[in-house]
Amino acid sequence: MEIQNSVMNNRKMFEQAFNYPTNKDIVFRDFKFQGKEGFVIYIDGMADGDKISDFILRPLLNKNDFSDGLKSVLQISSLTEETDFSEAVSAVLQGDCALCIEGDIKAYICETKGFDKRGVEKPQVENSIVGALEAFTETLRTNTTLLHKIIKNPGLTTEMVTVGKLNNLTCGVVYMNGIVNKEFVEEVKRRLKGIDTDFAQSGGMIEQFIEDHGSSLFQTVTTTERPDNAAALLMQGRIAIIVDGSPRVIIAPITLFSILKTSEESALRAPFASIVRLIRIIAVFAAFLLPALYIAITTFHAEMIPASLLLSIAKSRINIPYPAIIELLIMEFSFTLIREAGRQIPGALGGTIGIVGGLILGEAAVSAGFVSQACVIIIAFTGLGNFAIPQYQSAFTAQLLRIVFIICAGLMGFLGVGLAFVILVGYVNSLTSFGIDYVNPVFSGNAPMFPKQPVWEYEDRPSELRTKKTQSQPIVSRTWKKGD
């Protein structure tokens, strides 16, 4: 539908679209200048009323000379002309105001967004000791600004895509022009535009809509709340999807090992970062396999344990009325319960719940003969390993697969664990993220997860991204060394 030259018709169209006057959020401000009727429409609260009255209406009503057109009269930073009615409605919904004047077959869209928003705060989940302390917010523009602050390059490009037929959620597709492979940008836009739903609310929903394997146990896109992390990934040639209203930015395409890396590591010296990564790898291993190996060894392969340790484990289990697998599953459930309870209860009380649950309940369960000390140690170590996984959703993956491994170990010992592990490796190898392999093949030539290379050795961008510019720095990036 097009904007018409009759201001009355345009007003009726807007009234109908916004269910006016029943809808009390909508403000129409009629005016007359140079003998022509006109009106401004905006949503109360979304648009800045002061800005509209001071910089749009006042110049319109006070100025007499309009020979240079409206653009030279309205004192507003962004003014666009829109002939499509639905685009004008969409702009009003975003917080802008639409100005219609009798005889003009277009609406003037003025940038007047003025809704309340949260300021830039510290990251809540991805904490850093040596890295930056800014996190994304719920406002799309603030988030793009945070990225522009880090990447001061004209190539940083944001394209807007609207998702959700009824709620018109704006998503910003951000990439580094000149580095990124445009095929991936087109694919991201194609998938976002291809979402046919009435209501898309959060980044989490968008993630599920656009993933290659939406119901997979492994996330094939990642999210970050840290602008420095997002900027680093953009410079690698990946794409950021900023969803309006979501404080986490989606990054695609990704690989499994990119989930296990954190932005802080690039700020650390290579030996320290390598130690951190090694600990994380061990933690992931513990989170997935430790309880299963405990079950397998104590139930099927007890000959592996030195006699003294075996006796100690047997002694601690002497009063436990059920097999080790049931004991572990009960503890696993309890641990999850404590964690969820701690997460749901706000503030410091959540932490208290964790301590109370962990210490008192654990001690009481051992004393009452419900579980053995060995089991509590294993579950505690596994829980810590789970927390060491950087991504919240990946921690769920570890938890679910841990239960599968525990069951396999309880049924068939090392054979069960081995077979389940092969299936897991096969499954992960079958996954893709926006068409690229989720796991790099062995000896792919990319930087290894461990040991972490020094920053001056990161010459190439990840090969799987097929970037336009493959090198991020020359082989000798410390040119000052040449003179030494």
Partner 1 sequence: MDKLKLRTYDGIAVTGFLMLPALFSTGLSKLAEQNNTAAWIALLAAFVIMLCLFLITAPLMKRYEGKNIIEITSLVMGRPFGVIYGIALATYFSYFTGVHIKESVEILKIYGYNLTPIYIIAGLILLTAVIMNFYGGHAIVKSAGFFFVIIIVGIIFIMLLGLNRYNPDYLAPVLGNGISDIAKNSLFTASVFDNVIILFLFAPAFSNTAKMRKAGVLSISVTAAAFVLLYLCFIMMFSPSVASKMMSGFMEMGKSSYYNHFFYRFESILLFFLIFSSVMLASIGLFAVRESSACTFKLKPSKIITVICAVPVLIATFIPANILDLTEKYLPVIRQYSVFFMAGVPLLVLIVSTVKRVFKYEKI
Choice between 31 and 427, CB closer to partner 1:
427
Classified as helix, coil or strand, 297 is: helix
Distance of closest approach, residue 417 Cβ to partner 1, in angstroms: 8
Choice between 377 and 415, CB closer to partner 1:
415
| Whole-number Å distance between alpha carbons of 442 and 357 | 43
Strand partners, 237: none
DSSP state of 454: P
Choice between 291 and 413, CB closer to partner 1:
413
**279 binds partner 1 per the rule CB under 8 A:** no
Contacts of 67 (CB under 8 A, 6+ apart): none
Q: List the x/- string, 182-201, binding to partner 1 by CB under 8 A.
A: --------------------
Choice between 206 and 408, CB closer to partner 1:
408
Distance of closest approach, residue 126 Cβ to partner 1, in angstroms: 29
What's the Rg (C-alpha) of the chain?
Answer: 29
Q: Which residues between 319 and 378 bind partner 1 (CB under 8 A)?
A: none
**58 binds partner 1 per the rule CB under 8 A:** no
Choice between 337 and 425, CB closer to partner 1:
425
Distance of closest approach, residue 233 Cβ to partner 1, in angstroms: 24
Q: Which stretch binds partner 1 (CB under 8 A): 162-170, 185-193, 300-308, 468-476?
A: 300-308
Q: Which residues between 404 and 443 bind partner 1 (CB under 8 A)?
A: 412-415, 418-419, 421-423, 425-427, 429-430, 437, 439, 441-443
**What type of residue sits at position 229?**
N
Distance of closest approach, residue 257 Cβ to partner 1, in angstroms: 13
Q: List the x/- string, 229-268, binding to partner 1 by CB under 8 A.
A: ----------------------------------------
Choice between 55 and 421, CB closer to partner 1:
421
157 phi and psi angles, rounded to 5 deg: -120, 140
Choice between 147 and 408, CB closer to partner 1:
408
**306 binds partner 1 per the rule CB under 8 A:** yes
Are 394 and 218 in contact by the 8 Å Cβ rule? The answer is: yes
Count of residues binding partner 1 (CB under 8 A)? Answer: 25
Distance of closest approach, residue 194 Cβ to partner 1, in angstroms: 22
Which of 304, 349, 364, 377 is close enough to bind partner 1 by CB under 8 A?
304
| Whole-number Å distance between alpha carbons of 469 and 447 | 17
**300 binds partner 1 per the rule CB under 8 A:** yes
| Whole-number Å distance between alpha carbons of 1 and 12 | 13
Choice between 28 and 427, CB closer to partner 1:
427
Angle at which helices 324-344 and 392-430 pack, to 10 degrees?
130
Shortest CA distance to 59 belongs to which of 38, 83, 85?
Answer: 38
Q: Which residues between 13 and 52 bind partner 1 (CB under 8 A)?
A: none
Choice between 131 and 413, CB closer to partner 1:
413
Are 447 and 258 in contact by the 8 Å Cβ rule? The answer is: no
DSSP assignment of 101-149 equals ETT-SSEEEE--B----PPP---SSS--SSS------S-HHHHHHHHHH
DSSP assignment of 199-263 equals ---SHHHHHHHH-TTTT-SS-SSEEES-HHHHHHHHHHT-EEEEETT-SSEEEES--HHHHT--T
Helix then strand count (H, E) for the chain reads 17, 12
Record the tokens describing residue 476, joined without a space: 């000798």
Choice between 116 and 303, CB closer to partner 1:
303
Distance of closest approach, residue 440 Cβ to partner 1, in angstroms: 9
Q: Which stretch binds partner 1 (CB under 8 A): 23-31, 246-254, 298-306, 396-404?
A: 298-306
| Whole-number Å distance between alpha carbons of 352 and 32 | 64
Distance of closest approach, residue 305 Cβ to partner 1, in angstroms: 8
Distance of closest approach, residue 267 Cβ to partner 1, in angstroms: 31
Choice between 134 and 187, CB closer to partner 1:
187
324 phi and psi angles, rounded to 5 deg: -60, -35
Choice between 303 and 484, CB closer to partner 1:
303
Other beta carbons within 10 angstroms of residue 65's beta carbon come to: 7
Q: In what order do the strands lie in the sheet with 97-101?
A: 26-33, 36-43, 97-101, 107-110, 79-82
| Whole-number Å distance between alpha carbons of 307 and 455 | 48
Distance of closest approach, residue 307 Cβ to partner 1, in angstroms: 9
Classified as helix, coil or strand, 31 is: strand
Distance of closest approach, residue 399 Cβ to partner 1, in angstroms: 22
**301 binds partner 1 per the rule CB under 8 A:** yes
Interacting residue ranges for partner 1, rule: CB under 8 A:
297, 300-301, 303-304, 306, 412-415, 418-419, 421-423, 425-427, 429-430, 437, 439, 441-443
